[in-house]
Amino acid sequence: MKLSAKKINEVWLNNQIKIDDNIGTAPDFLKVFISDLDTKSNISKIIAHFSSLKLNELFFDNNDYDWCFDESAYRVTTEAAYQFRLLQLLLNLGEVSEADIGTIVAREAITPGASVMPRVMLVDDISFIVFPLGWISQMYLVATAIVATKLGDRILMHNIINGFCVNIISEEIVYNFFDENPDYTLSPAEFSLLYESVSKHLIATHKDLLGSQIRPTEEYLTPLAEAITYGCEAFTLAHELAHILVEDHKLKSDMADEIKADKLAFDLLVGSSKTDVMPDVGIGLDGKPIFCAHAFLLIAHASMLVYSKLGFEPSQISELNMRTKVLADRINSFSLPADSEINLKRFDLLVGNFLKALNVEAELLATTKVEMMEMGSSELSRLMASHFKKN
């Protein structure tokens, strides 16, 4: 029987919370995050692009993707956009049939944690590639901070980087609390709201250090910021697809798997770059896969730099360095058109300046981290005492 949008939504709703407590939530809670009244019309606009893919009839005859054309398969616009790009990658695979990899669905999950990474979940023969909201917002913060660096807007950059750090510290406070108080049971939705409350409290109590406005405004959504987020998303999507292609749904992947997935992700992007559309930053089609890999490494480095400055997760840094080296070797084996290369050099220079500034800002914040964590913890205890009962 053919898959339907209804069936996919059912599988997702029935399994998301059981599989991973931090991923996904009930439809009611989704409304808190999605205020776009025009989401539906944006989704249909993206689906209109899907018809260009339908020209490849053989693919749709051999694989179960008719549900992709049903609006109700998507809850937010980004899900439709991710699915579109996923189909582009799959169409370029050619020889891989659904019998080998099954049906793949891209999903955005309402998980606020800064450290929650995209991943693959296999449920009822459907592979969900999951993009957590927390990860998306960190990526967006880095992209806009790069734009602020380019514009020389030190204050905005300071504020955005602090927002980035606040996300990480808030997450640590919430995780610590539940490690120490295992007798509370919370739904993922409650967990997410607590996380939001703690970060709001930290911002309100540290205005002098953090600035009052730590979210960038619309004007910073420049083509460059869009290209960075697009590039990072595109590479990540290809990376998760690569895991599905080579690992046969292993639950845990090791370093060798990550390196293998990075390499294959890059090849998948090279294969599909001719048919894709990307915000214009003067990179050109040939340079696109390379730019996507650069954007991915940029976001990963920025995150790891902040984590290490704030004293968290040092072990991941050396892993990332190893992945960077292998991926860089792979990228460098491709030659670029001259004009693209110039633009990428300029981009790398900008990234270098951004990382230097990020280093300084994160160091400043590291000096007050302990104080912030204490203040956040007491606020969280207060919230728990007044709103939640122990079992």
Residues making contact with Zn ion (CB under 5 A):
258, 261
Please, what is the Cα angle at 380 between 379 and 385, to 5 degrees?
100
Residue 229: closest CA among 82, 105, 339: 82
Q: Which residue lies nearer to Zn ion by CB, 47 or 120?
A: 120
Distance of closest approach, residue 262 Cβ to Zn ion, in angstroms: 8
Distance of closest approach, residue 117 Cβ to Zn ion, in angstroms: 8
Distance of closest approach, residue 119 Cβ to Zn ion, in angstroms: 8
Strand order, beta sheet including 103-109? 103-109, 126-132, 119-123
Distance of closest approach, residue 253 Cβ to Zn ion, in angstroms: 6
For residue 352, what is the enclosing H or E element? helix 338-366
**Under 8 Å between Cβ of 22 and 115:** no
- Tell the residue number behind the tokens 């340079």, with chain if given: 287
Distance of closest approach, residue 240 Cβ to Zn ion, in angstroms: 7
Q: Which residue lies nearer to Zn ion by CB, 129 or 156?
A: 129
Q: Which residue lies nearer to Zn ion by CB, 91 or 261?
A: 261
Which string of DSSP letters, residue by residue, matches 267-301?
HHHHHHGGG-----SS--TTTHHHHHHHHHHHHHH
Distance of closest approach, residue 1 Cβ to Zn ion, in angstroms: 32
Q: Which residue lies nearer to Zn ion by CB, 6 or 250?
A: 250
Q: Which residue lies nearer to Zn ion by CB, 285 or 331?
A: 331
Which string of DSSP letters, residue by residue, matches 116-147?
PPPEEEEETTEEEEEEEHHHHHHHHHHHHHHH
Q: Which residue lies nearer to Zn ion by CB, 203 or 242?
A: 242
Contacts of 265 (CB under 8 A, 6+ apart): 235, 238, 239, 241, 242, 293
Distance of alpha carbon 191 from alpha carbon 164, whole angstroms: 19
